[in-house]
Amino acid sequence: SRVKALARMEKLAPVLTIKLAEAELTNLYEDIERPLIPVLVDVERAGVKIDREALAAQGRHIEQELSARQSRP
């Protein structure tokens, strides 16, 4: 139920806060990830149509870029 899920989140929040701080990721979470939560909720609710060909092409491009950067001294 939602009440149980909320109770679990309340227990996890302090633990995750400590883990973020230890990994020096608090700013990333607070400044980038957390503000995106409402956007991601809207996207999940609305759904997204994915152009598989464009996504595959982008993936190939990224792989090429990574390979080129990794082969540099």
What is the pTM assigned to this prediction? 0.54
CB environment 40-72: b (16+ within 10 A), e (fewer): eeeeeeeeeeeeeeeeeeeeeeeeeeeeeeeee
- CA distance linking residue 55 with residue 43, whole number of Å: 17
Tell me the per-residue pLDDT of 7-57, one tens digit each, with 9 for 90 and over: 999 999 999 999 999 999 999 999 999 999 999 999 899 987 889 999 999
Q: What is the pLDDT of residue 73?
A: 74
